[in-house]
Amino acid sequence: MHELLAYNKDMEKVVSLTLRGLKSLIDEALEVALQFGEGCPPRLAEALRYVVLAPGKRLRPTLTILANKLVGGSSLDAIEAACAVEMIHAYSLVHDDLPAMDDDDLRRGRPTCHKQFDEATAILVGDALQARAFEQIARIRPPEVAVACLQRLAHAAGAENLVGGQMDDLIGSAGVNSLEQLQAIHRRKTGAMFLVSLELGVLVGGGSQDDLDRIRDYGDNYGLAFQITDDLLDVAGDEQKVGKRVGKDSDMNKLTYPGLLGVEAARQHAADAVANARRAIECYGEQAICLDYLVASLLERDR
């Protein structure tokens, strides 16, 4: 399946064990990071745990830790940054699911936060997660690295990226009819959080400008391949596996990659992005094996 790094069964086993181990580490760290002191109402604490500890793939924090390892870090060095990116992501899902936005009932195979609790709680969960994410970043040492990470994450999560991309997606979908316009929305709405997840790993690990440039190239292509395969899952995915309603994009007349290019050309576009991402980190050889595997696996996504 993978053309650049050739995988044999043993390598696949090592990679999948490593990725499983990282996911457990991230889940444990999130549990700890979600312990709130006096002042946090029990219902809010329960909703925060419900949302963040739900069975997500933890892709963004995994990318943070892998990028950090690529430049010489160890798994725990980037754990605060990893928790922070997952918290921002979880908040964005909770708000995206609200009736005022995508109005979804199912997320990660469970009732969405506003269905399980109520709308006000879901809004407050998002607010609290965003604040907690920046508390995590403030713990990074040395402080200069914390400030650099804070600046990058705030920019990626803000009006020019995540929030702006979401706004354009909500109001602008009807007028979008070119590949460039579609990419401009997704680069901000989906791509920016993948990119910053990787960048924070490199910043915490003290990587060079060349490392940053390569990881950005990988991240841009990873984000693109992720979005195309996400659109393809909406066309042909199994709702049980995906953990959210499928077929929604076409019901809402949203412009998507398969909608614009056709399914086969969209698949090819995703395959090209995956090959570009793999080439961007090729020079690290087996040190980049997990990053290579993660992006190559996007072409076989079923959730």
**Footprint of ligand GRG on this chain (CB under 6 A)?**
56-57, 59, 89, 92-93, 95-96, 108, 162-163, 166, 189-190, 230
Shortest Å, Cβ 85 to ligand GRG: 11
C-beta of 80 vs 96, nearer to ligand GRG: 96
Shortest Å, Cβ 216 to ligand GRG: 19
Report yes or no: 230 and 298 within 8 Å, Cβ to Cβ.
Answer: no
Cis peptide before 142 (omega within 30 of 0): yes
What amino acid occupies position 116?
A: Q
Shortest Å, Cβ 57 to ligand GRG: 3
Report yes or no: 206 and 71 within 8 Å, Cβ to Cβ.
Answer: yes
C-beta of 190 vs 207, nearer to ligand GRG: 190
Shortest Å, Cβ 251 to ligand GRG: 14
Q: How many CA atoms lie within 13 A of 111 on its CB side?
A: 9
C-beta of 93 vs 129, nearer to ligand GRG: 93
Report the 10 Å Cβ neighbour count for 26. 22
Q: Could you give the CA distance from residue 232 to residue 239 in angstroms, rounded to a whole number?
A: 13
What amino acid occupies position 131?
A: A
C-beta of 145 vs 167, nearer to ligand GRG: 167
Report how many helices (DSSP H) and strands (DSSP E) the chain contains, helices first: 16, 2
Q: Could you give the CA distance from residue 225 to residue 242 in angstroms, rounded to a whole number?
A: 17
Shortest Å, Cβ 59 to ligand GRG: 5
- Give phi and psi for 77, each to the nearest 5: -55, -40
Q: Residue 61: which of 239, 258, 201 has the closest Cα? A: 201
C-beta of 254 vs 267, nearer to ligand GRG: 254
Q: Could you give the CA distance from residue 52 to residue 55 in angstroms, rounded to a whole number?
A: 8
C-beta of 3 vs 105, nearer to ligand GRG: 105
Q: How many CA atoms lie within 13 A of 131 on its CB side?
A: 8
Q: Which residue is nearest to ligand GRG (CB)?
A: 56
Shortest Å, Cβ 55 to ligand GRG: 8
Shortest Å, Cβ 248 to ligand GRG: 9
Report yes or no: 278 and 5 within 8 Å, Cβ to Cβ.
Answer: yes
Shortest Å, Cβ 60 to ligand GRG: 7
C-beta of 13 vs 248, nearer to ligand GRG: 248
Query: Who contacts 252 (Cβ-Cβ below 8 Å, separation ≥6)?
Result: 173
Q: How many CA atoms lie within 13 A of 271 on its CB side?
A: 10
C-beta of 34 vs 146, nearer to ligand GRG: 34
Report yes or no: 244 and 57 within 8 Å, Cβ to Cβ.
Answer: no
